[in-house]
Structure 1
């Protein structure tokens, strides 16, 4: 129980690679305790610790990453941005979006978008915005 409760008191700025480790190991300890309680023959304490370490390691490696998967952030509506540099079909450029400069890639891989043009932001993939020229919609 104490391992599960430690997850509540860890700061949100705690390294993402260590997130949910105390919770996962606490749940594994609880499940293993239930399993061993129901068993007819309880192993010695040393083996109980060994079993818990094995199950916890397996869960941290294989199950915990499912909770940490990042999804592409979808921007609610297509919003406007303005290109700062040229965005060529194979390269990324820069756009001014909501007062900040972002890397941008064109969803239309046929033509380049010149600088100082209005574009629509379709979605965000990591730190790169996916944009299309405004003239496509006109």
Structure 2
């Protein structure tokens, strides 16, 4: 049973590694703070403190890190920036060249090098091939276009 007391620090390090892996999946900095607290408890175990004191070191370190360091890091990282449009949302506002006549029911355009089905936003206005339009919105897999 002496090997358990001799390797307590190693168990804390293993807990820190597991918490670090969980942080990779969550990216919220909570598990990073808990991993750092587990490392503090590993140091406490390395200097010979009893297990109840190691747990107290872990809890106190976790509370301090979560209450003080995490908010500072979140502000520094500025994780609340503007959202960047991706996928089909990134096509809104882009230039599109008419391939086949675009009406309010059918047509195709070349959008960012790809052929898209398209329809006119204005039912009374068809667009002939070669005309340059702007994508107003994406409805499913169809680009809704209007004059630039």
Q: Which has the larger radius of gyration?
A: 2
Coarse TM-score class (shorter-chain normalised)? 0.3 to 0.5
For CA contacts below 8 A with separation 6 or more, give which structure has more relative contact order. Answer: 1
Task: Select the structure that is richer in helix.
Answer: 2
TM-score by length of 2: 0.38
